[in-house]
Structure 1
Amino acid sequence: MPTDPLVTVRDLRVGAITDASRKVEIIRGVDFDVAPGEIVALIGESGSGKTTIALSLMGHARPGCFISGGSVRVGDFDVTGLSERARRELRGTEVSYVPQSAAAAFNPAKRIIDQVVEVTKIHRLMPRAEAEERARELFRALALPEADSIGERYPHQVSGGQLQRLAAAMALVGDPQLVIFDEPTTALDVTTQIEVLRAFRSVMEKTGMAGVYVSHDLAVVAQIADRVIVLKNGEIQEVGATEQILTAPEHPYTKELMAAFEPVPHVPVEVPHSSPKPILEVEHLSAGYGGKPGAEPTYRILKDINFKLERGRNLGVIGESGSGKSTLARAVAGILQPYEGAVQLDGEELKPDLHERRKDHLRRLQIVFQLADTALNPAVPVGTILGRPLTFYHGMKGERRERRVIELLDMVQLPGALRHRLPGELSGGQKQRVNLARALAAEPELILCDEITSALDTVVGAAILELLKDLQKDLGLSYLFISHDLSTVEAICDDVLVMLNGEVVEALPAQKMSTEATHPYSKLLISSVPKLDTAWLSGLEQDPELVARFTNR
């Protein structure tokens, strides 16, 4: 017997107000259903309307946007016809949301358990003791360690993968009928992503909840979704079962997305201004957190790191969440002062502390951070964000600075009109490209890239890699490229360092990583890269002892 849909969307239209106070339509006539217990994926490029449509299921629109037409029903509720007060009652009980950035979703000053059960207090769903027991049940179901006590910690005291699963627990504790997952594994390394996907799928299957999964990663979608909706420019291009979309796509745009998922071949870039000196040399670098600056820290993270990066070449750094990848970038940039070792830029030793470095050293070595939500000032327009380094490093003001801001946005494939918007009005991919443009504003020689393509869809991510190569060719740039995506590292990097527990356990040319890696941990990383195969995750067999030895699960 066919069942009635849990979600019914008909002729959904969403409008937005432009900088010139003109109304435009960004979602045009979208129709789809979601059955009880079904997981439907929304895929497409950044800006295609994935998150905008998903948020509309809660009756919510981003700043500057509004639901202008059509209808959305969830269960017995006409979401588009409800008052805002009634919609608030709906959120967390009938429909809930798991954000892309769990770090930005949690209050760092409050215990995790207090935040996870908050929805039960707001909606008066159950007594506090019952809510805490429900939360602990979810912690166990989501395979979180120390489920009975992890809630007593603060957000900064758990790993990224653990925090993302805790965000899911926060969404599930109110027992909703529908859960919206907004790119929840985008920023996670491959081994952590596997545990999160398994946990999500297990909980959804056991509870029978329906899900809408927003993602640009087709390999992830293959593991979790029953059906796929392909979007472009606010319109549906194709709808089909996941297997059909992956193996026999019909629409040209779907075929384009599939083609963009294919690995990009690495072609070494010949750069001008070659020099016998490495652009970056790191010797016996050790760093950590806690204690006095320059002294041995309370928590040691990096342990005796050594490597050289030749000018015009790219070095990839991969490893588990917590392995020390981002800490390495911060120590090289001077944000975190190491207690041992030295960093040289083009043969000149850099001061350990950022505040003691010469202005020219600051300009020549830039960093692009992973989390755009926390890296960009939410109260400042994009044009001001990009204009500040132009004034600081190059003394640009007025019209000259304005023209350069537009040029920088064009370099990262964003329209110049975006300079008037606030970061909160941009998609995740757009915010990350603004991050890159800010680094380019300094006209650097070396860019430390901390997961800069992890928030981008496959089409835009491939375009950004091509952009990085073009910039490298034109400007003689070098990149230290931190990533959990091995295909990305192989596409742009010449060499790879594999990090585990703050140490380099293997160093290989990027093109030999998949075939010649010898360390067991390197092999685990390679085996954890998702495939475009709906049976991949369920059929994945990894040595439990090896997984337990080398990961934080």
Structure 2
Amino acid sequence: MANDDLLLRMRGVEIDGWSDERWHDIIKGVDLSLKHGEVLGLIGESGAGKSTLGLAAMGYARPGTRIKGGEIVFDGQDLRKLSERQKQRLRGSRIAYVAQSAAAAFNPAHTLLDQTTEVAVRRGQLGRKEAEAYARELYAAMDLPNPDRIGDRFPHQVSGGQLQRAMTAMAMASKPDLIIFDEPTTALDVTTQVNVLAAMRKAIEQFGTAAIYITHDLAVVAQMADRIKVLRYGEEVEEADTHTMLTAPKETYTRSLWAVRSLEKPGETSDDKILQIRNVTAAYGKVPVLKNVSIAVPRGKTVALVGESGSGKSTTARVVTGLLPPSRGEVLFDGEPLPPTLAGRSREQLRRIQMIYQMADTAMNPRQTVGEIIGRPVAFYHGASRSEVRARVAELLDLIELDESFSDRFPGELSGGQKQRICIARALAPNPDLIICDEVTSALDQIVQEGILKLLLRLQKELGVSYIFITHDIATVQAIADEVVVMYQGSVVEQGRKEEIFSPPHPDYTELLLSSVPKMEPGWLSQAIAERRQLTP
């Protein structure tokens, strides 16, 4: 690699973090290099140090962490020797960052165009008119609809996939040399993800921008990266060009990443239905969201709801839980009609239906201990004494494969996988008959996902609990579902046993979903985009 082509060189980078009143190693002497216009994929399980290393490429360390060793040289400048003001001048102009949550990256009070052009205008890189023209060019490159006018919208007026692409356009508006992409498509459904990935790659190639692409999705990195670096416990496992890494990884750990998701549950059915949704129509205000939806959940089985964002999956869950009363139709639970509103339901009806949310971070009170989080529903639904609550918490922790010492910890002291296990324990605490799992593995890496799915399958076998599993991940459906319901624009496209749904021929929309699942094959993305033009409803 010629030095004059080298944009970023990181050598012996060491980063540690403060916790338990001492410093702990996070990154342990990692090297990284990147050429102009090149894309490097950073992969590894939770806690590997991917995001920490990516942020260090900007000369930045999160609060509670520090860069304590090594060199970080960007285009000839040693970032560790620059003042904070000098580094801030580089960030947003020559080095940009695209986060996982687009919604959190935008100010809801300003238009997309104002926010896209802000940095370039304020730093004198472009005049206002020139910046706006360039922003529209970027919107077009990102395949956003009506690129000349979409910038006039506010963040809440566009879809999640459109907002993610707008965030990439915002990062590119100052014509940076380097963009750090930190899990930018994790929360997107598969059909939206394909469009976003294609737009990102097209823009990177068109504008010659180098990128570090951080992800736990191996199939995604296969479409985006020229080279892949694998991290584990803050250390490099191996690095190679994408084709070599996918076809002939050297290390056992890398091969184990490639092999996850081997579990697959055979789809089964049952005539005994714990839940029946009958001809339900529901709306937000005057906007119809569900249209004559009928779904049945067999007792002790798992029904997966799949479909892109806006298809009605989470709205169906809101109807079942009483958060959104239907305008027509009914929900039967164990053969009896459920009151349409949460307020109208008895404590016993509430106890029997529980929910696990996508973001474990925001689903738990950070000021409560794990024992308090799990123990509260035990006391509320069962009137248990303090000693009974403690005993039940210990029992539930054992059930989710965590020891009793976790009872005194706070959410901030847990890993992503541990937090989700605590949320599972909280949902199990009332002894429910049905648990609604809303994208519970989408924010987790493959290894942690596999552990959570195995746990849910074991709990179902031991406890006989039924699941509604909302997901956009077809691999997750293969792993956990007995039956599948495909939804599109508020309606059920098809439903049945998993084997039937995944066996051709498919309705056009189901075919589109299945064809949008990324494969660990370089070049798959271009082929998928070409094929989907014929399949889009």
Question: Structure 1 length normalisation: TM-score?
Answer: 0.89
Aligned to 1:266: 265
Within the candidate set 499, 502, 506, 1:511 is matched to: 499
Which residue identity lines up with residue 146 of structure 1 in the other structure?
N
Letter in 2 for 1:189: D
Cα distance in 2 for partners of 1:74, 1:472 equals: 52
- 1:171 maps to a residue whose letter is A
1:193 maps to 2:193: yes
Letter in 1 for 2:276: E
Residue 275 of structure 2 is aligned with which of 280, 283, 286? 280
Partner deviation per Cα, 1:380-438 (whole Å, 9 max, x = no partner): 67665555444433556868757766775676567856964555x77665655554444
Match of 1:294 in 2: none
Q: 1:444 to 1:105 in 2, by over 3 A?
A: farther
User: Where does residue 14 of structure 2 map in the other structure?
Assistant: 13
Secondary structure at 1:546 match in 2: coil
1:493 aligns with 2:487: no
Structure 2, unaligned stretches of length 5 or more? none
1:51-71 superposed Cα distances (whole Å, 9 cap, x missing partner): 111111123333432222222
What's the counterpart of residue 295 of structure 1?
none
Deviations 1:434-459 (A, max 9, x none): 54444334443211112211111111
Please tell me whether residue 526 in structure 1 is matched to residue 514 in structure 2.
yes
* Matches for 1:169-184 after TM superposition, within 5 Å: 169-184=169-184
Which residue of structure 1 aligns with residue 74 of structure 2? Answer: 74
Amino acid corresponding to residue 306 of structure 1 in structure 2: S
**Whole-angstrom distance in 1 between the partners of 2:140 and 2:204:** 14
The one of 426, 444, 449 equivalent to 2:437 is 449
- Corresponding residue of 1:535: 523
- Are the aligned partners of 1:287 and 1:300 in contact in 2 as well (CA < 8 Å)? yes
Paired with 1:244 and 1:217, the residues of 2 have a C-alpha distance of 17
Please give the alpha-carbon distance, in whole angstroms, between the structure 1 residues aligned to 2:391 and 2:87.
Answer: 43
Contact 1:101 1:373 in 2 (8 A): no
| Residues 432, 184 of structure 1: alpha-carbon distance in 2 compared, 3 angstrom cutoff | farther
Shift of 1:94: 1.9
Partner of 1:293: none
CA–CA distance in 1 between the matches of 2:462 and 2:473?
Answer: 26
- 1:254 maps to what in 2? 254
- Secondary structure, counterpart of 2:222 in structure 1: helix
Task: Give the SS at the match of 2:472.
Answer: coil
Instruction: Give per-residue Cα distances to partners, 1:80-131, cap 9 Å, x unaligned.
Output: 2333333322211121111112123223343322333333355343333332
CA contact (8 A) 2:268 2:483 kept: no
Structure 2 counterpart SS, 1:515: coil
Q: Say if 1:406 and 1:419, in contact at 8 Å, map to a contact too.
A: no
The residue type equivalent to 1:460 in the other structure is: V
> Is 1:367 matched with 2:347?
no
User: How far apart are the structure 2 equivalents of 1:520 and 1:172?
Assistant: 35
Q: 1:126 to 1:545 in 2, by over 3 A?
A: same
Change (3 A) 1:491 1:355: same
Deviates more, 1:240-249 or 1:183-192: 183-192
Relative distance call for 1:414 and 1:249 in structure 2 (3 A) is farther
Quick one: which amino acid aligns to residue 284 of structure 1? N
Mapped contact 1:160–1:188 kept (Cα < 8 A): yes
1:305 deviation in Å? 0.7
- Rounded to whole Å, the distance in 1 between the matches of 2:44 and 2:419 is 17
Would the aligned equivalents of 1:43 and 1:231 in 2 still touch at CA under 8 Å? yes
Tell me how far apart the structure 2 counterparts of residues 418 and 32 of structure 1 sit (CA, whole Å).
39
Looking at structure 1, the residues matched to 178 and 397 of structure 2 have their Cα atoms a distance apart, in angstroms, of 37
Q: Measured at CA, do residues 393 and 124 of structure 1 come closer, stay the same or move farther in structure 2, by a change above 3 Å?
A: farther
7 and 420 in structure 1: CA distance in 2 versus 1, 3 angstrom threshold:
farther
Check the 8 A contact 1:104/1:373 in 2, yes or no.
no
Using the TM superposition, name which of 517-526 and 26-35 deviates more: 517-526
1:408-427 alignment to 2 at 5 Å? 420-421=409-410
Do 1:429 and 1:455's aligned partners in 2 also have CA atoms closer than 8 Å?
Answer: no
Does 2:351 correspond to 1:352?
A: no
- Between the aligned partners of 2:422 and 2:347, the Cα distance in structure 1 is 22
Deviations 1:477-533 (A, max 9, x none): 111111111121121111111111111111121123222343111111111111111
Distance 1:92 1:345, change over 3 A: same
Q: Which residue of 2 aligns with 1:289?
A: 284
Whether the 8 Å contact between 1:301 and 1:502 is mirrored in structure 2 is yes
The answer to which of 366-375 and 313-322 deviates more is 366-375
Quote the residue 1:130 is aligned against: 130
For 2:121 and 2:201, locate their aligned partners in 1 and report how far apart those are by CA, in whole Å: 27
Give the 5 Å matches for 1:44-63: 44-63=44-63
One-letter amino acid of the counterpart of residue 316, structure 1: A
Specify whether residues 386 and 72 from structure 1 end up closer, same or farther in structure 2 by C-alpha distance, changes over 3 A only. farther
The reply to whether residue 477 of structure 1 matches residue 465 of structure 2 is: yes
Q: Could you tell me whether the CA contact under 8 Å between 2:7 and 2:34 is conserved in 1?
A: yes
Tell me how far 1:376 sits from its aligned partner.
4.8
The amino acid of 1:502's aligned partner reads G
**Would you say the 8 A contact 1:412–1:464 is kept in 2?**
no
Distance 1:453 1:131, change over 3 A: same
Letter in 2 for 1:349: P
Tell me how large the CA RMSD over aligned residues is: 2.7
The question of whether the paired residues in 2 share the 8 Å contact of 1:269 and 1:472 is answered with: no
**Which of the numbers 313, 316, 321 marks the counterpart of 1:325?**
313
- The answer for the alignment partner of 1:463 in structure 2 is 451
User: Residue 544 of structure 1 aligns with which residue?
Assistant: 533
- Separation in 1 of the partners of 2:507 and 2:354? 32
Percent same amino acid among aligned pairs? 49
User: Pairwise mapping of residues 33-182 of structure 1 onto structure 2 (< 5 A)?
Assistant: 33-182=33-182
Stretch moving more, 350-359 or 489-498: 350-359
Partner of 1:224: 224
Partners of 1:432 and 1:405 lie apart in 2 by 16
Taking a change above 3 Å as real, the CA distance of residues 406 and 535 of structure 1, as seen in their structure-2 partners, is: farther
Whichever residue aligns with residue 474 of structure 1, its letter is E
> Once the two structures are superposed, what CA deviation does each residue of 1:15-42 show, in whole Å capped at 9, x if it has no partner?
1222x31221121111111111111111
Q: Secondary structure at the residue paired with 2:174?
A: coil
Instruction: Provide the rounded CA distance (Å) in 2 between the counterparts of 1:204 and 1:11.
Output: 28
Q: Aligned letter for 1:264?
A: L
Unaligned runs of 5+ in 1: 291-297
After TM superposition, the structure 1 stretch with the greater mean CA deviation from structure 2, 111-120 or 370-379, is 370-379
Residues 316 and 66 of structure 1: CA distance in aligned 2, closer, same or farther (over 3 Å)? same
Whole-angstrom CA distance in 1 between matches of 2:526 and 2:454: 34
Could you say what secondary structure the match of 1:356 adopts? coil
Query: What is the deviation of 1:289?
Result: 0.9
How far is 1:175 from its partner? 1.5
Distance of aligned partners of 1:377 and 1:535 in 2 relative to their CA distance in 1, 3 Å threshold: same
Cα deviation for residue 233 of structure 1 reads 0.8
Q: How many residues align?
A: 534
The residue identity in structure 2 corresponding to 1:526 is: L
CA contact (8 A) 1:120 1:174 kept: yes
Q: Is the 8 A contact 1:317 1:483 kept in 2?
A: yes
Whether the aligned pair in 1 keeps the contact of 2:282 and 2:326 (CA below 8 Å) is: yes
Distance 1:78 1:410, change over 3 A: farther
Gap change, CA 1:394 and 1:71, over 3 Å in 2? farther
